[in-house]
Structure 1
């Protein structure tokens, strides 16, 4: 760890890994549910379980990886080995998800198994990767800088994945062949981007604590960090809101805006503004405070999402209004990405002042487990809503006309439900601010220092 400012090369070397994490986080959430219901003939309820259950496994697996990462850090002084294992395994498992030779029940089993493998590989990379900023610098302002770089690259990965993946499917002929080609192309991008931070991580010394803690002991130690769990609760609700909107996007394009081909346009309008907004939110946070800006962005997202309910529909005017609201959502989404992650290392250092241990791996394991739970809940809830609304699964060569009720279920998942989840996260953000202030009043850690 260093107090000196990080160079642009160091920042870029770390942040480029987020291009890969953004790609992996986006494509399954955007296309996997639709791939199963509209290309493999898997019923919506079953497809939702396939998407949700592997993520539920992640919620258990990620804290285990966090504890293992801390043990590796103590033993070797680095977090490189687990990081490398994830970087090598994820591209292979990702490609396999979209190579199902089966349809119906067999396809559901194939996707479930390969998705579990891909999610586990992603955890091996993501957990130690998210732990690194707390060990790259001791200054909150510098860690916010790291997060700005990371979120810019994350946004780039999300934008590339969301814009490229549906386009590759269409160019390769749609259907199962199109998805297979897309899986291979995205896997190659993952391999190219995930290995870069592995090389940089060899130069980052780790400080996990005086002795390794097992998973249960690490969780007991973390339990007293009430500010962390309030922040995590808000982040989980926000992740679920974004995930359900992401899962609903291709359905909204197909059944409300005129065709599946608009999925890429819809997604680009949602994500592209965030690439510009990330540095602006960083400057705003430096002036008015990270928590204030995060609260404002959450409210903005909720209002824009609710406005999609009357805006969506057939015709150029409805499409233009929907795309404009998506651009506004993208502006708010940028803050929802960068600001919670800039606050996370502060809670880790505050806990170090309380316990004498800097357990970055344990806390990031819990964080990524919570994020995974939120990302799983989104598509899972959306698939259940589709099933309840009477949505009928189909294959590429046998499309099915959906009822008005099913179409309403699609739009509900794209607008009002995400808005309500965002509003539900506001009390947790308020609790985080209150608990952080209380902790600071009793013990001031010079590493936490800047409260904003």
Structure 2
């Protein structure tokens, strides 16, 4: 990236309209992350009668699919940005297709049988995951393009997390309420899927309007150039990251182009050669190269993956804790209010702490607080009771920081890499990031399912009442307490290797610039 462009971008304060429109996208993110994580495993085990281990494998398989497609979607988003000047197209496609797929996921009745029902849920959830990734991957890439300021990114992502927190509360409490809207559980799940899917899709469509659109054949407002170069990329003379007339060492063409950037008057990669192989193998290799060359990205991604796994176990276990520990299926609403409600107040506080101490220091404090709060819930093995809500609320205060701070640090990582390797790969980073987040939440649900299976949990169909063995109830408590606490503690080791600070972003060294 040219040294002239960065200070100009960093000096611009984001408008309230931009922040508001971007934040609305978290209605979609919160809804998709919350309802499947909260009720899908329970839907399979206690509505369709699927064995706990099989239910966990179904959820995991759908999430593994995300890991496969997210890097490809990230690369496609980068190509769309280079070709059209905007990432908006993929975001709109995901917003329009997700509501239908989401509703179909919860439209399966028990009468279809265990195998047939499980297969239909798997296929519908695979389609839902794909639609969500089409939106989420470019959505996560936008902050790095909207502002170059260290603190403005914290402000942007802080408000996004406020909306995310409200969305989690809305879907976490409203989803189960919709499910109980009628006496027929089949109709209840269908209503929940339809209403939630529509709300998620609308939020995504609104957020897609924040994607910068600079016109066909341009990127970042330049005519026929990428990131301020005249016939060059990243300021090189016919090179990208040291290549001679090539991009990433190739000598072919850019997606069938002929030395031009989708209609621009200059060329991309600056020489007579152009961007090579845009096939799936090249996209995965681009992701591995990004991981290899960016140490801050490796540290931040490892931390976020472990923390997604920790919060994923709590999310997947919440319904089971409500039903079998607090002895009320409806108590899941109170668990969610206790977890998410404090975050509405705490998010601005974490933003203020990050301004004073730095994002990484605030992130570390939030991680320690969450681990301590989760660990105290282990006492429920011997003394279950309403006191659990207090521990969950303390975890909720920390949860606000765990959501906002790493998301504000990711654009810093992308900017740091741009200075060293050239622009145009934000989608590659966010594709890997979204895949890592997905893996964490998926394995969280899998960990809960495996714990239930190992402790003898009994699956049922709707309308059937059983008594769970004491070992299964103990397993539920441990998967909601000590397991996420240990994972959160492990994430502190990877966070300790994160080296970027405020001065690295707002006052880069000449070598970085």
Select the residue among 404, 411, 422 that pairs with 2:470. Answer: 404
1:182 corresponding residue in structure 2: 192
1:119 corresponding residue in structure 2: 129
Length-normalised TM-score, structure 1: 0.93
- Taking structure 1 as reference, are residues 331 and 446 closer, same or farther at Cα in structure 2, changes over 3 Å only? farther
Question: 1:235-266 CA deviation, whole Å, 9 max, x = no partner?
Answer: 00000000111110010110010210101111
Question: 1:322-374 CA deviation, whole Å, 9 max, x = no partner?
Answer: 01111101000000000001110111011011112242101000100100110
Contact 1:58 1:120 in 2 (8 A): yes
Indicate yes or no: 2:444 matched with 1:378. Answer: yes
1:53 corresponding residue in structure 2: 61
**Alpha-carbon offset, residue 218 of structure 1:** 2.1
Contact 1:240 1:374 in 2 (8 A): yes
Whole-Å separation in 2 of the counterparts to 1:49 and 1:332: 30
**Alpha-carbon offset, residue 145 of structure 1:** 1.0
Question: 1:373-413 CA deviation, whole Å, 9 max, x = no partner?
Answer: 10110001110111011111101122221100111111111
- Taking structure 1 as reference, are residues 69 and 408 closer, same or farther at Cα in structure 2, changes over 3 Å only? same
2:295 corresponding residue in structure 1: 226
- Taking structure 1 as reference, are residues 204 and 54 closer, same or farther at Cα in structure 2, changes over 3 Å only? farther
**Alpha-carbon offset, residue 184 of structure 1:** 1.0
Question: 1:46-74 CA deviation, whole Å, 9 max, x = no partner?
Answer: 00000001101101110110000000000
1:136 corresponding residue in structure 2: 146
2:338 corresponding residue in structure 1: 269
2:248 corresponding residue in structure 1: none
Structure 1: 5+ residue stretches without partners: none
Indicate yes or no: 2:452 matched with 1:444. Answer: no
Length-normalised TM-score, structure 2: 0.83
- Taking structure 1 as reference, are residues 113 and 367 closer, same or farther at Cα in structure 2, changes over 3 Å only? same
1:354 corresponding residue in structure 2: 420
1:42 corresponding residue in structure 2: 50
Structure 2: 5+ residue stretches without partners: 1-7, 221-225, 228-232, 234-267, 269-274
Contact 1:256 1:313 in 2 (8 A): no
1:73 corresponding residue in structure 2: 81
Structure exhibiting the larger radius of gyration computed from Cα positions: 2
Whole-Å separation in 2 of the counterparts to 1:6 and 1:142: 7
Whole-Å separation in 1 of the counterparts to 2:154 and 2:212: 22
Contact 2:78 2:424 in 1 (8 A): no
Whole-Å separation in 2 of the counterparts to 1:103 and 1:366: 37
Whole-Å separation in 1 of the counterparts to 2:73 and 2:347: 29
Contact 1:42 1:104 in 2 (8 A): yes
2:368 corresponding residue in structure 1: 299
Contact 1:14 1:200 in 2 (8 A): yes
Question: 1:164-205 CA deviation, whole Å, 9 max, x = no partner?
Answer: 001111222362221111111101211221110122325478
Select the residue among 19, 33, 38 that pairs with 1:11. Answer: 19
Residues 201-212 of structure 1 aligned to structure 2 (within 5 Å): 201-203=211-213, 207=220, 210=233, 211=268
Whole-Å separation in 2 of the counterparts to 1:241 and 1:78: 34
**Alpha-carbon offset, residue 447 of structure 1:** 12
**Alpha-carbon offset, residue 217 of structure 1:** 4.6
Count of matched residue positions in the alignment of Structure 1 and Structure 2: 442
